[in-house]
Structure 1
């Protein structure tokens, strides 16, 4: 018989599932929500300035560090809070109400944390990283894109060179979001110089290991606070910093599902904030002419309906991620029928494409509702920043590329049984 789980172990077991750990009390459950609200208020205060100057949201991340939210997903055995993926998604959505750039950076950081947790937490060096992350509230970034390859993260031109227990890597990255502000960067590379482009590893590099030579600036339409400049990255360190799991598995099992889920939460939060502005505008119109329904009522109903569909789709994804994670933890994923694995992969793909497209539709409806008050910057109904930020959503792992991949997955799936999609 297995020994009963301690409170800490029970909490850790649920770290990446879609439900909160049963050990959480009501007070603990509310504390991270309140912390996220406080950080979101700070993010909202500086969001326009961050956007105008394309600068890193320093104030928001000072608040997140003070609230100890950068280690929210780290298991309790390393000192973290051990929040579930669903709870982290809630934080992302909350932050997005204040500042989309802050929320996106937070989401991308948690994606890197998840990769280390899921594929390195049994190794002493990576355990040390998780512990230090909690103690010092480190911010983690990633370098998966590469010059001449672009955003195709499943291939690498650069290769890691390992000799005498040490590694060396040099990578020309067209974008490393908030790279100049991170304490660590997870880098993809070919396993060896002789390896094919698809045989990749993921390396955890820390500030003392790496050198960043900035190449170009970040003057973008939206998501300006992510500071996604290009860099020449050079790093050295111990070979134990290379995660033991092949990157293809890390991408399939952790990076892409967590990315698509947390990104979807960010975009849902941005759209929800825009809808709140539309509701306020609609109420103001109604107060100005008592007894009549303003003409924008139908558009508002449409925007609310689209937002509710986004929220429902996100919840379905969180439930699916919960089931998939439990299968891996219990060792059942290898025995799962191929059709189940393909269904999960295609579901994650359609989550990303559907939420990213629908969020834009929601904010466009809001703009029509608020009219010039929404079009102008500096009003309480302004949604220009929301719209510009969301135009990045279909481009982050381009929707066309994802749709093509989804089509291949669908070809390999058997027809659904009656009553199922």
Structure 2
């Protein structure tokens, strides 16, 4: 049995994270901090992909630059960042290293759930402080072996009694599960609860043990280390968020996931566009300005990239306007729009990279060389599968039948 026992290490005396950077940094510094992490991520991206290893250098740099607590409110030691700050972060990191970008994106989705739904609970507020102070990397466990990736269905139940909980979960995927500092997981509310009656449970490393059940030998996104585990956890009842997961899912999980994942995927496609532009410029210079036949595909790549950027910016603005309006967040209009965003942006990311491949020709197809888009293509092909686009489309079809048809152009 391959067990990762983290309890002993977690019981050691707490030592504050040494970052060399003050805990209270202004958001005006964020761009420079992200740029430093992106440079380190880019330098190691090839090795991370080749060896299917966790991007330790980039995540260490992210902790040093205090990127993991930016969403935590300032009153709990964070930066009080907004959605666009994290979207820009994930886009920049996506241009550098796909795995780093996706890990940071998934982390921030979990932090958003804690900060937006954990206020008023002492344990959760202390967790916010710990994420900001110690730069804890939070992992996500929302899929189980028998639910086919349906995050709105849980088999395992959080058994709560006498102020404590216990949970035994067969998680088919926990991205960077062996490397994270904590896990946020869905579970049924109780043994006799329906599979859709879910709660969200927040775990520190001292609260759980992991047993590896499945490896991660995949086409792309190899550095996310999305291994399968059996998760055995126990802790205090306060670690179960009071608000139902149904509300958390609509108000925070879905919008943050689709916005920051989409930003990471669009960053990956922007990296491929950069390479296509550099390739075509080099060819044109050596041919007295004559463009190669594949140049026509570069125009398509830029157009689809810009379409994705516009969609993300617009939807980020929309979410920011209504982020505290629970009724608006739960509306069919918003849920359909945010779900459509995920489908459109993931498809556009794939289209963009495929267009750069045709623009670069054999130079893009090669695995070696400065103009290769092999890694970007393999990584971005994960985007339509991460919560499968067909599953989202099927769910939207049912919801759209209930939505009213507009009666005017501006309504």
CA contact (8 A) 2:98 2:221 kept: yes
Q: In the alignment, which of 312, 319, 326 is matched to residue 314 of structure 1?
A: 312
Is residue 381 of structure 2 the alignment partner of residue 381 of structure 1? Answer: no
Contact persistence 1:150–1:174 (CA under 8 A): no
Residues of 1 paired with 2:131 and 2:78: CA distance?
A: 9
Which residue is equivalent to 2:334? 344
The CA distance in 2 between the partners of 1:263 and 1:162, in whole Å, is 33
Deviates more, 1:99-108 or 1:149-158: 149-158
Counterpart-to-counterpart distance in 1, 2:273 and 2:125: 42
Aligned match of 2:355: 365
User: Secondary structure of 1:125's partner?
Assistant: helix
Q: Which residue of 2 aligns with 1:18?
A: none
Q: Secondary structure at the match of 2:143?
A: coil
Cα distance in 2 for partners of 1:244, 1:170 equals: 20
Q: Deviations over 1:299-329 (max 9, x none)?
A: 111111111101001011101111221424x
Instruction: Report the equivalent of 1:305.
Output: 303
- Secondary structure (helix, strand or coil) at the match of 1:212 reads strand
Measured in 2, the distance between the counterparts of 1:292 and 1:105 equals: 42
Question: Which residue of 2 is the match for residue 250 of structure 1?
Answer: 248
Selected match of 2:100 from 96, 102, 106: 102
Q: Compute the displacement of 1:121 (Å).
A: 2.2
**Structure 2 CA distance for aligned equivalents of residues 148 and 307 of structure 1:** 36
Q: CA deviation at 1:254?
A: 0.5
1:336-395 Cα shifts (integer Å, max 9, x gaps): 5x9x81110011111000111111111111001111111112311111010001111011
CA contact (8 A) 1:186 1:204 kept: yes
User: For 2:369 and 2:35, how far apart are their aligned partners in 1?
Assistant: 22
Deviation at 1:292, TM superposition (A): 2.9
Partner of 1:402: 392
Counterparts of 1:376 and 1:294, CA distance in 2: 18
Aligned counterparts of 1:161 and 1:314: Cα–Cα separation in 2: 39
Counterparts of 1:8-407 in structure 2, within 5 Å, are 28-328=26-326, 333=327, 341-407=331-397
TM-score, normalization: structure 1?
0.90
How has the CA–CA distance of structure 1 residues 417 and 323 changed in structure 2, closer, same or farther, with 3 Å as cutoff? farther
RMSD (CA atoms): 1.5
CA drift at 1:417: 3.0
Q: Distance in 2 between matches of 1:173 and 1:289?
A: 55
Structure 1 runs not aligned, ≥5 long:
1-26
Take 1:38 and 1:155, find their aligned partners in 2: how far apart are those partners? Answer: 39
Provide the aligned length of Structure 1 versus Structure 2: 387
Instruction: Give SS of 1:179's match.
Output: coil
- What TM-score do the two structures reach when normalised by structure 2? 0.92
Q: How far has the Cα of 1:247 moved from its partner?
A: 0.6
Q: Following TM superposition, by how much is the alpha carbon of 1:420 offset from its aligned partner in structure 2, in angstroms?
A: 5.0
Q: Give unpaired runs (5+ residues) of structure 2.
A: 1-24
Residues of 2 paired with 1:168 and 1:139: CA distance? 22
Q: Deviations over 1:263-287 (max 9, x none)?
A: 1100110011100110101111111
Distance 1:178 1:293 in 2: 43
Partners in 1 of 2:359 and 2:299 — Cα distance?
Answer: 11
